[in-house]
Amino acid sequence: MKPQLHPLTEELRCKCAEHRRALRECLGEWHRLTTQERPCLLEKYHKEFGNLELYRQHLVLRCAELRRRLELLYVKVNRGESLTAGMFARINELVNSEFSKMYGRLAKAEQMNATRNAGGQPTVAGHAEINSMYRTLAKKYHPDVTGETDSVQEWHDIQTAYRHGDASRLRALLTLMEADEPAALEAAQESYQDLVDTEARLAARRRIEERKLRRLLSEEPFALRDQLSSETWITEHRLKLQKEIATCETAIAEYEQSYAQIASTVGVSTKTPTVEPTTTEFDKEFFDNTYFGGR
């Protein structure tokens, strides 16, 4: 005699099937956006504003650097301390050190942006966890195992996630794999509670992936999709960048004049120091990859 099925069993199975379908759609859309649409949008933005954005960012950094040098000098003056050549040297050394650290943090941000631009997400998961998930997925989706073309997209997603250390994406793929396993489905048929647990796990993962997709679409460059097709917006945005550049150039000239006036009273060089070339090179590389980190 067959065991009596719980009256809600079929309903839960339908929910599981719907969750799996929605998850696959989310993963597919995420892959399309990050590997196809994002590069096109970045290239379009680069074509319209690349040089302006790069120049603007250099000016923003220069403004911050000069402002910090003057800030420290005025602290000494307001305290009634006598400015000396040694004090100038120490202040400039301190500012150079501070900005080197800042560029170091930007270098880390560059790696995170490069990961996002390639379709991954920054992760804090350890290599052991990522390798373990990858091995589990490879046992099911590796072409040598399946021998079919049906799993090509899944395997590509797995490879992309693993290459960029995207633990959250690997977990999502693992959830899908576990849900699709015949053994898991058979167990669910035998146990109502197993089916309840599977539905809850899939529902939670679906909420996470849909939330991530909405957040991705709300961020640049996707938030600029319509604007980048508008000549009016392009013209207005170019003017906006040009105004920001002009504002920075004016501020830099004023900062340099103030620095020169103070330096002349001490007898040191009136030319303001500049950031070391090793730090400014990163700025170029960073904004060659993405323009939206400096907003």
- At 50, which amino acid appears? G
Residue 268 has pLDDT above 50, yes or no: yes
Give the confidence band of 46 by pLDDT, cuts at 50, 70, 90: confident
Residue % of the chain over a pLDDT of 70: 73
HEC-encoded secondary structure of 38-56: HHHHHHHHHHHHHHHHHHH
Listed by start position, the domains of the chain span 9-122+191-289
- At 276, which amino acid appears? E
Residue 288 has pLDDT above 50, yes or no: no
Which of 24-28, 109-113, 188-192, 213-217 is most confident?
A: 213-217
Report pLDDT digits (tens) over 208-262.
989 999 999 999 899 999 999 999 999 999 999 999 999 999 999 999 999 999 9
Residue 263 has pLDDT above 50, yes or no: yes
CB 118 within 8 A of CB 152: no
Give the confidence band of 198 by pLDDT, cuts at 50, 70, 90: confident
Question: Which residues in 241-260 are b (16+ Cβ under 10 Å) and which e?
Answer: beeebeebeebbeebbebbe
Report pLDDT digits (tens) over 158-182.
888 788 777 777 777 776 666 555 4
Please provide the average confidence, as pLDDT, over all residues in the chain.
Answer: 78
Report pLDDT digits (tens) over 106-164.
556 555 555 544 555 444 456 778 888 888 888 777 776 655 555 677 788 788 878 87
Name the token pair of 264.
């002349």
Residue 21 has pLDDT above 70, yes or no: yes
What local confidence, expressed as pLDDT, does residue 213 receive?
92
269: left (phi over 0), alpha (psi -120 to 50) or beta: beta
What local confidence, expressed as pLDDT, does residue 241 receive?
96
HEC-encoded secondary structure of 118-167: CCCCCCCCCHHHHHHHHHHHHHHHCHHHHCCCCCHHHHHHHHHHHHCCCH
What local confidence, expressed as pLDDT, does residue 253 receive?
96
Angle between helices 192-218 and 182-190 (to 10 degrees): 130
Contacts for 158 with CB less than 8 Å, ≥ 6 apart: 134, 137, 138, 141, 170, 173
Give the confidence band of 277 by pLDDT, cuts at 50, 70, 90: very low
What local confidence, expressed as pLDDT, does residue 283 receive?
42
What local confidence, expressed as pLDDT, does residue 276 receive?
64
Mean pLDDT of the 270-276 span: 74
What local confidence, expressed as pLDDT, does residue 13 receive?
85
CB 166 within 8 A of CB 123: yes
Angle (CA) 28-29-31 rounded to 5° is 65
What local confidence, expressed as pLDDT, does residue 148 receive?
58
Helix H segments across 181-230?
Answer: 182-190, 192-218
